[in-house]
Amino acid sequence: MNVFNDVKNDKVLLRGFAINFFIIILTFVYILLSFQSLPPFIPLFNQLPWGEARIAKTVWIFVIPFLAFLIFIFNLIYSELTYKKIPLLARILVVTSFIVSILALLFVVRTLELV
């Protein structure tokens, strides 16, 4: 069964998705390593007004890398489906996944630094 053949054969796509996956795993590991020292609530919703609306239970920090992982999976599948017709779109999706995973890592690091 040759799943994701086009992604495997294109070195740019393969390396891009591998780096994205590594960054998402790194984000999960960073959260797991610092989870024991976190308070029960953390400031997660920074766009809301100051006060209780900004805080969430600590376990909600896992939502950030999970959403990045969902975007990664969607872009990986869509890249495979569109590669034959539009290879540039597949590479744009790799870059999009990369940006999302980097921003997720930066958000998690910054949020856990403040706590």
DSSP state of 40: S
What's the rounded Cα separation, in Å, for the pair 76 and 104? 18
Residues 40 and 57 sit within 8 Å (Cβ to Cβ): yes
**Count of the separate structural domains present in the chain:** 1
Residues 18 and 97 sit within 8 Å (Cβ to Cβ): no
What's the rounded Cα separation, in Å, for the pair 56 and 82? 39
Q: What is the pLDDT of residues 49-75, one digit of tens each?
A: 888 888 999 999 999 999 999 999 999
The low-confidence residues of the chain, meaning pLDDT below 50, are none
Q: Could you tell me the residue range of the domain that residue 44 belongs to?
A: 5-114
pTM metric for this prediction? 0.91
Confidence at residue 47, expressed as pLDDT on a 0 to 100 scale: 82
Structure tokens, 107: 């958000």
What's the rounded Cα separation, in Å, for the pair 95 and 55? 31
